Amino acid sequence: MENCLLKMRHIEKRFPGVLALNNVDFTLRKGEIHALMGENGAGKSTLIKILTGVYQMDAGEITVEDTAVSIRSPQDAQNKGISTVYQEITLCPNLTVAENMFIGREGGNWVRHTEDEKRADEILKLLGIPARSTQQLGSCSLAVQQMVAIARAVDQNCKVLILDEPTSSLDDKEVKMLFDLMRDLKSKGVGIIFVTHFLEQVYEVSDRITVLRNGELVGEYLVEDLPQVELVSKMIGKELDELSTLKESDEEDISKKEVLYEAKSLSSSEAEPFDFTIHKGEVNGFTGLLGSGRSESVRAIFGADKVTGGNVTIKGKNAKITRPIDAMKHGIGYLSEDRKRDGIIAELSVRENIMLALQVMNGFFKPISRSESEAFADEYIKVLNIKTASRETPVGSLSGGNQQKVILARWLLTHPDYLILDEPTRGIDVGTKLEIQKLVLKLAEEGVSVTFISSEVEEMLRTCSRLIVMRDRHIVGELTGKDLNQAQVMKTIAGGEA
Amino acid sequence: MKKFRALLLVVVLVISSVLCACGGKSGGNIKVGVVNNPPSESGYREANVKDMEKVFSAENGYDLKTFYSLKNDEQLQAAQGFITEGVDYLLISAAETTGWDDVLKKAKEAGIKVYLFDRMINVDESLYEAAVVSDMAKEGETAVKWLLDQNLPEYNVIHIQGAMGSDAQIGRTGALDEQFASGKMKKVVQQTATWDEAEAKKIVESVINSGEDFNVIYAENDGMAKGAVAALDEAGITHGVDGKVIVMGFDCNKWALRELLSGAWNYDGQCSPFQAQIISDLIKGNKTTSTKKIINEEKGFDATTLTQSDIDTYGLGD
Amino acid sequence: MKNKKTHGGLGQLTIPIIALALLVLFNVVRDLIFIYYFKDPNYVSFFSIEFTRNNLDNTVLAGNLISIINGASELAILAMGMTLVTAACGGQDISVGAAAAIAGSVFVKVLKSSSSINGGTVAIAFVSACIVAMLFGSFNGTLVAVFKIQPMIATLILYTCGRSIAYWINGGATPTVNSPIITAIGSFIPGIPIPTPVLIVIAVSLLFKLIFKFTSLELFTQSVGINGSAARLNGINSTFIKLLSFIILGVCVAFSGTIGVSRLGLINHETLLLDIEMDTILAVAIGGNSLGGGKFKIGGSIIGAYVIQMLTITLYAMKVSSTDVKAYKAIVIVLLVVLGSPVVKAKFEKVLSYLGLNRQSISTKGAQ
């Protein structure tokens, strides 16, 4: 194995109450794209954090180009040629793009503005990233922020590049651009560790796959030797249900049911006026490219942004929703797109996070008793299969998918009539995705209306009975019945004759 | 801000000079301009300002103009304004000891007589008629002399100091330090409470808790003496006339003198804020002085000889 | 597994308790040295507590420990309120000392303008002080919660002008009020040997306990402090929560100002609770609370207040000059804050887990 770049042997890592990694091996060769797969909590993120010096391993050894190394800090990892782009964006939104690309790198802590900005612009141009070096990072879309993070890593002459869920907020075009870049880097001898939940993407770009499950190594495979179905079953440790059977094909005509929520020319500071209706027990979805206004529209429904106009009726009665609390009192729940910023209260426990929305609805002077909240938490930890050391564990220490389940539990506990789920499956593993999709359909059966948004059109086709397509901040079409297929959706998104 | 205040000052002075021109002349009163620190500075200053207003009143044949500030440059501008306006006498208690040469020279050229009160200024003696000031060291000496006169068999003193480095602290500490050095008095503890009553109480409490013996509390102002006494009261230690511990304070607030009168304290020293009468006497020629520097007489009150009329005359505040 | 708390090896209260323990240990050693090495017959132990009769002929407790818990009362009460403001707003109110001077002045003003001092007028005076302090609290709170000004900057205004305002209320001199009721509030109630300020601290902490029990203040404050954006999307009115924290701090200010005035029956607007704001913030920090807001423990701040006071009294007992006390305090506080820093904590936990002292069993996954 003369082209072996990185070897990790017998890696072990413990957290309070959890053995996160147990005797895990991982090998990366020069010029290969190596997918690291596993469900949430399988230990992927932990392994990567050890490799990048964020965590220190409890046992095991790491060699880079046949030299044993110990990686003490992220800076140390960078110095050894290991760069990373994390699942959640970890840059500073209040600094400029250039500052984000160069801050904290060797050459001192001084930002040499003009020089750095020039260089940043060159890199951005080379990678085709639509951003200016002097722009504040926070003013860029999530996708562009992600790409800036990649650009930062690419610019560090790294031998090992780790991409942790790099594509979860990118649209198809941007993904293609990234893959081109990855292949380019690969041909230059860079070893890339690719962590993603998009199975198709794994097969599109990877050479090799390593699968982890419950903190243990399942195996390392060449892509050709591992069909997709087998990969999934290795990840979850059992045979997978046929996904397409999720939704009953011959459902009753939902539009005959009573209208739950209706908005006429609703608009907010962020959303153009739009009309929208949802029936009792209906699952519909907003789709469109990033920035098409789909998230902004549902935020307007919930009163998350400043509502500027429109008429809303709920169950046939006029309703005035200007703040989130108004929406909650009308039985609406909202799971936001940005889990870290708008969802979890990281330092509070799983229990407190679950009870939060219900407590707010109960009011300031009617606190839920400790024992009651414990019962609620235990119930939903069980129902949603939330993996946590205990109900008092701070939610921030849970994996992304489990955090998402906690927020779902928070809204389910309020027993909403109408639940808005904006990207509930983003950045979480395939098993949990399936669980969430099943849950959505189960809720609908129980009469809850759901609006479901996902970047994966396929996922929405499986769950929604109606798709609202948006382009350039306007609704451009509604698809139901026969029209609910990938080709038709793409056509509508693209617009015109395409 | 500074500019604005300066402007305001000019406007006020102009208006008042116009008013003066209308009404002042006919009376033929002596025109006196006083530059002082604001009464909010301390109880001492409040009494000082009131005293000035009382003595230089219209009934006594004066036409009084006043300006109060803690800032030297504002005081300088005000003095300049008084000179331009043409007062007969200029009375100054300066915020700082420097920077006054030019203004005082101008006053001299304009034939205005200058008196300093309360605080000295670093200028040539020829630039002012007289300076009526307190001698802080003398205050301490008076108090310590009184204490020695008590002829106690031994002196175990708790010494509570004011904010370190202030004139009052230095003056009131000096004489006592000499006694500690000579061995005539024993220093049980010497701590600063920075004029803070509550801190003084804590200091005395910690001495009581350590079980050490003491029979004198020398606090450099009334508030701190009151704090010390509160600690004695809580510990059941008697004080004052006929008590175990002698209590001494400074400033002669009225409430403190009443403590003396009731016998709870023994002694209160005063840095006299009353310079107005002396200056008035000098102006009217009732009194003459051979030296430029006149040390204002400092009073010290003994609980056994204090009378209600002393409180009414010399007590500060209410 | 059911009811076990599974936080990290070190809880939030570890640091303040260790600090307190170290101070106690230091004084024990000092006691032993004086008693057994110097054989000083007149030496009184730092920890001795005894009953004495005070000058009003009441039996009362006395000793250094009593001085500590008594003297720290104003600080402890302010620290409770400050903890709440810190948690909700991620910043501190530096005007508490000045505001307490105002509250104290109002208290004295009302008493002086009433014909006699009795239980009723004292109650009216306290309520007036409370209302005024709450008004100033809501002034600060509005600047922070509505106008989004950083707390330190917003409260700098009152910090600067507060003592002047206190001066205007009563005029220049230091007005005094003498009454057995005032003495009872600031010192001892006849028949009860425990200093009244200590009882007031207990009452105020019970008040907080009740508020936390019968409202969602704790959960909402923490949510707003940790993630304001998420709190808003969950329907929490963060403006209200922040404003409320300042108003509650206002009540604490009124309590402290009243105690401070009652101790001596005198209001000195320049020195009443001077520099207490910094001690208050320190108490919050020593209590293990993040000054950046979020999770908090009121109990930690109270212990923090006692740590600061114990440090002061220890230094006084050693006759360290009070000008030097501040320097010594600074040294100890730097040590404490470093000890409580996440870096040191993480290292410490690592050592613990190597020694096998970690409380958690390293087992398989939790809730399968």
What percentage of chain A has pLDDT greater than the value 90? Answer: 38
* C117 and C177 Cβ atoms separated by less than 8 Å: yes
C positions 177-216 inside 8 Å of B (CB): 186-188, 195
Ramachandran angles phi, psi of A271, nearest 5° = -120, 135
C187 and B230 in contact by Cβ < 8 A?
Answer: yes
Q: 3-state DSSP call for residue C36? A: helix
Q: How many interface pairs between B and C have CB atoms less than 8 angstroms apart?
A: 125
Q: How many interface pairs between A and C have CB atoms less than 8 angstroms apart?
A: 117
C362 and A17 in contact by Cβ < 8 A?
Answer: yes
C2 alpha-carbon distance from chain centroid:
35
Distances (CA, A) of B281 to A71, B40, B287: 88, 27, 5
- Residue A109 pLDDT > 70: no
* B193 and B200 Cβ atoms separated by less than 8 Å: yes
Report the alpha-carbon distance of residue B314 to residue B251 in Å, rounded: 10
Of the listed ranges A98-112, A425-439, B93-107, the least confidently predicted one is A98-112
Q: Which chain C positions have a beta carbon within 8 Å of A382's beta carbon?
A: 367
Q: Which chain C positions have a beta carbon within 8 Å of A355's beta carbon?
A: 219
Residue C308 lies in a domain: no
For residue A433, which of A79, A6, A31, A40 has the smallest C-alpha distance?
A40
User: Do residue A468 and residue A430 come from a single domain?
Assistant: yes
DSSP string, C198-234: HHHHHHHHHHHHHHHHHSSHHHHHHHHHH-HHHHHHT
pTM here is: 0.78
C64 and B206 in contact by Cβ < 8 A?
Answer: yes
Report the alpha-carbon distance of residue C128 to residue C134 in Å, rounded: 10
- Residue B7 pLDDT > 70: no
Q: Which chain C positions have a beta carbon within 8 Å of A324's beta carbon?
A: 232-235
Which residues, other chains included, contact B118 with Cβ-Cβ below 8 Å and sequence gap of 6+?
Answer: B48, B93, B132, B133, B134, B273, B275
Average pLDDT, chain A: 85
Of the listed ranges A70-74, A307-311, A456-460, B79-83, the least confidently predicted one is A456-460
**A39 in reach of chain C (CB within 8 A):** no
Chains that touch C (3 or more CB pairs under 8 A): A, B
Report the alpha-carbon distance of residue C287 to residue C80 in Å, rounded: 10
The pLDDT, as a whole number, for residue B305 is 94
Range of the domain at C114: 72-300
**Residue among C222, C234, C367 whose CB faces A386 most closely:** C367
For residue B51, which of B318, B314, B306 has the smallest C-alpha distance?
B314
User: Do residue A329 and residue A194 come from a single domain?
Assistant: no
Range of the domain at A471: 243-494
Check residue A343 and report its DSSP letter.
I
A197, A226, A241: which is the final residue of a domain? A241
For residue A452, which of A420, A478, A474, A426 has the smallest C-alpha distance?
A420
Domain total of chain C: 1
- Residue B107 pLDDT > 70: yes
User: Do residue A264 and residue A397 come from a single domain?
Assistant: yes
* B276 and B56 Cβ atoms separated by less than 8 Å: yes
Q: Which chain C positions have a beta carbon within 8 Å of A346's beta carbon?
A: 226-227
**Residue among A18, A323, A363 whose CB faces C366 most closely:** A18
Query: Are chains C and A in contact at 3+ CB pairs closer than 8 Å?
Result: yes
Question: How far off is chain C from B15, nearest CA to CA, in Å?
Answer: 27
- Residue A333 pLDDT > 90: yes
User: Do residue A256 and residue A293 come from a single domain?
Assistant: yes
C1 and A365 in contact by Cβ < 8 A?
Answer: no
The pLDDT, as a whole number, for residue A276 is 94
- Residue A418 pLDDT > 60: yes
The angle that helices B222-235 and C238-264 make with each other, rounded to 10 degrees, is: 80
C214 and A367 in contact by Cβ < 8 A?
Answer: yes
CATH number at residue A422: 3.40.50.300
**pLDDT: which is higher, B19 or A396:** A396
Q: Which chain B positions have a beta carbon within 8 Å of C160's beta carbon?
A: none
**C171 in reach of chain B (CB within 8 A):** yes
Band (C7; pLDDT cuts 50, 70, 90):
very low
Residue C195 lies in a domain: yes
**Residue among C214, C230, C366 whose CB faces A17 most closely:** C366
Of the listed ranges A68-82, A241-255, C15-29, the least confidently predicted one is A241-255
Distances (CA, A) of A275 to A293, A318, A496: 13, 15, 22
**Residue among A334, A348, A388 whose CB faces C366 most closely:** A388
**pLDDT: which is higher, A252 or A99:** A99
Of the listed ranges A449-453, B12-16, C70-74, C262-266, the least confidently predicted one is B12-16
By C-alpha distance, the chain B residue nearest C186 is B230
Query: Are chains B and C in contact at 3+ CB pairs closer than 8 Å?
Result: yes
Amino acid at the residue B291 = T
Q: Which chain C positions have a beta carbon within 8 Å of B222's beta carbon?
A: 174
Strands A4-15 and A18-29: antiparallel
The pLDDT, as a whole number, for residue A40 is 67
- Residue B226 pLDDT > 70: yes
**pLDDT: which is higher, C7 or B215:** B215
Residue C99 lies in a domain: yes
| ipTM here | 0.85
C217 and A364 in contact by Cβ < 8 A?
Answer: yes
User: Do residue A230 and residue A308 come from a single domain?
Assistant: no
Band (B10; pLDDT cuts 50, 70, 90):
low
Band (A427; pLDDT cuts 50, 70, 90):
confident
A241, A276, A297: which is the final residue of a domain? A241
Query: Are chains A and B in contact at 3+ CB pairs closer than 8 Å?
Result: no
- Residue A238 pLDDT > 50: yes
A241, A274, A297: which is the final residue of a domain? A241
Q: Which chain C positions have a beta carbon within 8 Å of B196's beta carbon?
A: 268, 271, 274
Average pLDDT, chain B: 88
**Residue among C213, C222, C235 whose CB faces A348 most closely:** C222
**C75 in reach of chain B (CB within 8 A):** no
User: Do residue A262 and residue A195 come from a single domain?
Assistant: no
Q: What is the mean pLDDT of residues C171-185?
A: 87
C222 and A345 in contact by Cβ < 8 A?
Answer: yes
Which residues, other chains included, contact A404 with Cβ-Cβ below 8 Å and sequence gap of 6+?
Answer: A335, A339, A343, A424, A425, A428, A432, A436
**Residue among B192, B235, B255 whose CB faces C322 most closely:** B192
- Residue C367 pLDDT > 60: no
Of the listed ranges A278-287, B8-17, C68-77, C263-272, the least confidently predicted one is B8-17
Q: What is the mean pLDDT of residues B130-157?
A: 92
C360 and A364 in contact by Cβ < 8 A?
Answer: no
By C-alpha distance, the chain A residue nearest C235 is A325
A341 and C220 in contact by Cβ < 8 A?
Answer: no
Q: Which chain C positions have a beta carbon within 8 Å of B190's beta carbon?
A: 321
Question: How far off is chain C from A136, nearest CA to CA, in Å?
Answer: 20
**Residue among C6, C214, C294 whose CB faces A17 most closely:** C6
Of the listed ranges B75-79, C9-13, C119-123, the least confidently predicted one is C9-13
Strands A216-222 and A160-164: unpaired
User: Do residue A167 and residue A278 come from a single domain?
Assistant: no
C7 and A392 in contact by Cβ < 8 A?
Answer: yes
- Residue A377 pLDDT > 80: yes
The pLDDT, as a whole number, for residue C4 is 38
Q: How many helices (H) and strands (E) does chain B have?
A: 11, 12
**Residue among C71, C271, C316 whose CB faces B197 most closely:** C271
Residue C114 lies in a domain: yes
**Residue among C42, C173, C260 whose CB faces B211 most closely:** C42
C223 and A389 in contact by Cβ < 8 A?
Answer: no
Question: How far off is chain C from B162, nearest CA to CA, in Å?
Answer: 11
User: Do residue A169 and residue A264 come from a single domain?
Assistant: no
What percentage of chain C has pLDDT greater than the value 70? Answer: 93
The pLDDT, as a whole number, for residue A145 is 80
Report the alpha-carbon distance of residue A343 to residue A325 in Å, rounded: 15
User: Do residue A247 and residue A237 come from a single domain?
Assistant: no
User: Do residue A168 and residue A281 come from a single domain?
Assistant: no
By C-alpha distance, the chain B residue nearest C177 is B255
Domain total of chain A: 2
- Each residue's pLDDT tens digit, A166-217: 777 677 777 887 888 788 778 878 899 998 877 778 888 999 999 998 889 9
User: Do residue A74 and residue A120 come from a single domain?
Assistant: yes
Q: Which residues of B24-52 are buried (b: 16+ CB within 10 A; e: fewer)?
A: eeeeebbbbbbbbbebbbbbbbbbbbbbb
